[in-house]
Amino acid sequence: MPVDLAGPIFALYEKALARAKAQQQKGNMFEAAAAYRQCADHLTQYAGYTTDPRARAQWLEKAKGFRELAEHITTKGPPIKAAENGGDANQYDDEVAALIFKSPVSWIDIGGLAETKNEIKTAYGLSMVHPPKGIKLRGWRNLLFYGPPGTGKTLLAAATSNGLEATFFNVKVSNLLSKYFGESTKLVSALYAAARRMAPSVVFLDEIESLVGQRGGTESGAELRVVSTFLAELDGLTGKADENYIMTIGATNIPWMIDKAILSRFEKKIYVPLPDIRARESIFKIHLASKGYKVEIAFPELAKRSEGYSGREIEHLATEAVKHMVEEVNPQLVNLVDQGRAALEKYELRIRPLNQNDFDKAFARIKPQATQSDLARYQEWRDATE
């Protein structure tokens, strides 16, 4: 019997990944790329030891992702060190590099939202095609996603970025403002300079309502400067915006709190609603069937029962049902934990198809959070802005 090296190989992969991330954080992109390539090699080997064909395919896919990332880093050069902005922005290389994010999410991982996906693709498509001679067309570059929590806004932004084979800059605006207080303006310039260099890029500005310019008049000069820097970037006025495609995606749960000047820069505002019945069915499938679980209850039944739940809450329902099933058929698990890691590693987890009782328990525990009045508020805002 061949020796099973899966464990040690996986450990090598984890070490290589930690190394890659550390190098990337430091802005040492070539070292990072080399380590990502090692990650890919280890994962490919690891996949060879995986007996479940679905899992094997997933590992191989992940390995491919690492190879692409390494390729991206090396072909586009050490991304920020040579920022076109010259000396000043380079001071923020590390901070900006830390915002670059490679997510494996693709369109098929997102249930429902077909119309939303099409709007995004149209926005991008219009920006890239050649209009007939004499016709000036400026596609949308700035999209705003708004809607209740957990409806897939972040997922959509990541899938957009992957779909466009773009570099994804994941920015939580409140972090940017608090962590780099006073320095945020320079960081924003460095961010967009890097995005231009690594174009096509998607700059995702989460919690964009934290960016406040003229509300109440209590803002400091520094805050006002950050806002005006963003405004200039959103207008695409800085540098060769037309050659280097950057899509900025803002996201918020409270669109009515967004600064008016910022809001007006988003040419396209896209409502990301709670999932309808068909979307709920596909979200259940994504989080159960696609992960290998058998379900005794028909998916349309689950979709009907989960009216008012967000995608995130449906994911929680799925996790909760699985947890209930696992606990029920593996009562010895708690004892095993007490016996230590060796005992756990030898134990093969039992599973069975998910049944009515598992879901009853999950539905009892997880309740939808969005209220009718919350939803009405989005509708009102939508009517007022569109």
Residues 350, 31: Cα–Cα separation, whole Å: 42
Residues 125, 140: Cα–Cα separation, whole Å: 9
Residues 35, 31: Cα–Cα separation, whole Å: 6
Residues of span 98-117 touching ligand ATP by CB under 6 A = 110-113
Q: Note whether 150 binds ligand ATP by CB under 6 A.
A: yes
Residues of span 240-279 touching Mg ion by CB under 5 A = none
# binding residues, ligand ATP (CB under 6 A): 18
Choose the contact partner of 144 out of ligand ATP, Mg ion, none; CB within 5 to 8 A by kind: none
Residues 191, 83: Cα–Cα separation, whole Å: 10
Structure-token pair, residue 82: 């040579």
Residues of span 222-241 touching ligand ATP by CB under 6 A = none
User: Which of 27, 147 has the CB closer to ligand ATP?
Assistant: 147
Select from 9, 40, 80, 155 the one that contacts ligand ATP (CB under 6 A): 155
Nearest partner of 117 among 72, 76, 155, judged by Cα: 155
Select from 16, 164, 194, 283 the one that contacts ligand ATP (CB under 6 A): 283
Binding piece for ligand ATP, criterion CB under 6 A, among 23-31, 54-62, 87-95, 307-315? 307-315
Q: Find the shortest distance in angstroms from Cβ 148 to ligand ATP.
A: 7
Binding piece for Mg ion, criterion CB under 5 A, among 37-45, 146-154, 213-221, 229-237? 146-154
User: Which of 150, 250 has the CB closer to ligand ATP?
Assistant: 150
CA distances to 72, 143, 145, 154 from 252, in Å: 30, 11, 7, 10
Select from 154, 185, 248, 310 the one that contacts Mg ion (CB under 5 A): 154
Q: Note whether 281 binds ligand ATP by CB under 6 A.
A: no
Q: Note whether 149 binds ligand ATP by CB under 6 A.
A: yes
Q: Note whether 286 binds ligand ATP by CB under 6 A.
A: yes
Number of Cβ within a 10 Å radius of residue 341: 9
Number of Cβ within a 10 Å radius of residue 55: 12
Binding piece for ligand ATP, criterion CB under 6 A, among 148-156, 161-169, 218-226, 258-266? 148-156
The gap from C-alpha 294 to its chain's centroid, in whole angstroms, comes to: 27
Q: Find the shortest distance in angstroms from Cβ 354 to ligand ATP.
A: 18
Bridge partners, residue 268, by sequence: 143
Three-state SS string over 123-161 comes to HHHHHHCCCCCCCCCCCCCEEEEECCCCCCHHHHHHHHH
Per DSSP bridges, beta strands 142-146 and 167-172 are: unpaired
CA distances to 35, 91, 170 from 223, in Å: 38, 20, 20
Phi, psi of 52 (to 5 degrees): -70, 120
Question: In angstroms, how far is the first alpha carbon of the chain from the final one?
Answer: 67
Q: Note whether 152 binds ligand ATP by CB under 6 A.
A: yes
Contact criterion met (CB below 8 Å) for 215 and 260? no
Binding piece for Mg ion, criterion CB under 5 A, among 140-148, 151-159, 298-306, 322-330? 151-159
Choose the contact partner of 33 out of ligand ATP, Mg ion, none; CB within 5 to 8 A by kind: none
Q: Find the shortest distance in angstroms from Cβ 230 to ligand ATP.
A: 20
Q: Note whether 167 binds Mg ion by CB under 5 A.
A: no
Contacting positions for Mg ion (CB under 5 A) = 153-154
Contacting positions for ligand ATP (CB under 6 A) = 110-113, 149-155, 253, 275, 283, 286, 311-312, 315
